[in-house]
Amino acid sequence: MNDTIEKTDMELKDDVIAELKYEPIVKVTDIGVLVKNGTVTLNGYVSSYVEKLEAVQAVKRIAGVKAILQRRGFANADDIEIQLPASYHRTDGDIAAAATNQINWATLIPPGTVRVTVREGLITLEGEVEGWFQKNVAANVVRHLLGVKGVSNRLSLAQPIQMQSEPTVKPVAVERAIKSAFKRSAVVDANKIRVETSGSNVELSGNVRNLAEREEAERAAWAAPGVFSVDNQLTIKWFERSQ
């Protein structure tokens, strides 16, 4: 039988530090870890935005972590400061030009749909795209650019085109596609997640084992044809087999 076992904050802190040490991109000696009631805050500094992202992803893999503190919206664990080496510094204009080029070169994004602004190394993406996958691609192609300190993805999705009599994609088909994706996944436990659809809107509820599984379930839901919004109500509930 599977019973829910809560880790103490000290146990979670030890696990987070161990996982950060295990991640080769992260220099753990420059990062501090705070844990309160299962919520993790990372502080300190890193040498690149990529290192910051990898540190956050490492925390999401830890069983028992309920949340990662986020503040200004450019990234999780916003207490981590990015201190770029001198050779990494670029002007905002240079970063904006590079980001615009990367987006224009991305074949999945229609030209002219994304506006890029940069302030003190922080990229903001605005505009309207056709689907979640385009929004995701736009952020992915710019976050690794030299000099970037953060990415705020404010791209909106175009309203789905409706047939006069009925939606182009039926809710039951959307629900079936998402459930099938969960069953194929090696990360998501489909038996513990409920999927409800209303038109082009999807709601996920139930329990997942960690933040990484919660994130993957939402990604799979967004990927279904016809989905316009995903309300992720999944809660973190760590299960461990007991005798």
CB 128 within 8 A of CB 113: yes
Q: Are 231 and 202 in contact (CB under 8 A)?
A: yes
CA dist 174 and 21 (Å) reads 40
Query: In this structure, are 48 and 95 located in the same domain?
Result: no
CA dihedral (49, 142, 152, 233) positive or negative = negative
Q: Is residue 98 part of a domain?
A: yes
CATH, residue 225: 3.30.1340.30
Same domain, 146 and 207: no
Say what the pTM is: 0.79
DSSP code per residue over 83-148: ---GGG---HHHHHHHHHHHHHH-TTS-TT-EEEEEETTEEEEEEEESSHHHHHHHHHHHTTSTT-
pLDDT in tens, 178-188: 999 999 998 89
Other Cβ atoms within 10 Å of 236 Cβ, number:
17
What does the pLDDT average to over 92-101? 97
The predicted structure's pLDDT at residue 240? 52
Q: Are 104 and 51 part of one and the same domain?
A: no
Q: How many domains does the chain have?
A: 3
For 183, the domain range is 171-241
**How many CA within 13 A on the CB side of residue 209?**
15
Return the sign of the alpha-carbon dihedral for residues 161, 165, 167, 168. negative
Question: Same domain for 224 and 188?
Answer: yes
In sequence order, the 6+-apart residues with CB closer than 8 A to the CB of 49 are 75, 82, 143, 144, 148, 149, 150, 151
Is position 165 within any domain? no
Give a yes or no: residue 71 inside a domain: yes
pLDDT digits (tens, 9 = 90+) for 32-75: 999 999 999 999 999 999 999 999 999 999 988 988 885 544 44
Residue 166 domain-assigned (yes or no): no
Q: What is the pLDDT of residues 111-129, one digit of tens each?
A: 899 999 999 999 999 999 9
Same domain membership, residue 176 and residue 145: no
**Does the residue 142 lie in any domain?**
yes
